[in-house]
Amino acid sequence: MMVIGASSAYFHATLSLVGQLLDEVAILWVLLAGYALWTPEWMIQYTGIFKSRTGFKLAAVVVAVVATLLGFVYPAANAIALMMLGVPCVPILWKEIQRCKSTKVVKLAYIGILWWFVAVMLWLSDRLLCDIWKYFSFPYFHCGWHVFILLGSNIGCVLGCYFYSHSEHKELKTELSFWPTSFGTWGLPYIAVRKKPLQKQT
């Protein structure tokens, strides 16, 4: 996420092709890393293509390398391709919400979905109606896109960690927390992972 932020800042400061490619390649690799690390094991097995997460990770790396090379060949298509690459996050998250018993986690997921939706609407408005907003001297929708996609992506990463730890590591106690605690659910979400206490045998 920090690499994306630095690359995006460089791109918007210079508006150069190199900056654009750095920005988009960083997003591509982070997205695919998220899929490789946090896609539920049962979903990987359900595809019938991969026998383990290791094979799934290797496939993600291959896709990332090929997509990176294609991005250099035709950079104009990168933005749309990245948007489409993010689409599978929605059904994965929806399935995990249905399986989740923690109301706090489900609430955070809905907040994340809201931020993603707002971000995409701002991006589409900026891309499709740019001339109109320039006419009214209001070229700020792209800035809003960056703010809301950051909020949504941060929540997405936290939820990915939570669902992975909760599903794949039953021996651990996984809890969603917020910092500072006085802000409640408006604070910065993070995952606390602890070993479950050993049950005494009678």
Is the sign of the CA dihedral 196, 189, 83, 116 positive or negative? positive
**142 marked as binding residue:** yes
Alpha helices in the chain (DSSP H): 2-14, 17-38, 41-47, 53-73, 78-86, 89-99, 103-128, 130-135, 141-168
Q: What pairs with residue 176 in β-bridges?
A: 191
**12 marked as binding residue:** yes
Give the span between the Cα atoms of 194 and 186, in whole angstroms: 23
**169 marked as binding residue:** no
Find the distance separating the first CA and the last CA of the chain, reported in whole Å: 48
Strand pairing of 172-179 and 188-195?
antiparallel
Query: Residues at the annotated binding site for Zn(2+)?
Result: 12, 142, 146
In the annotated binding site, the residues are: 12, 142, 146
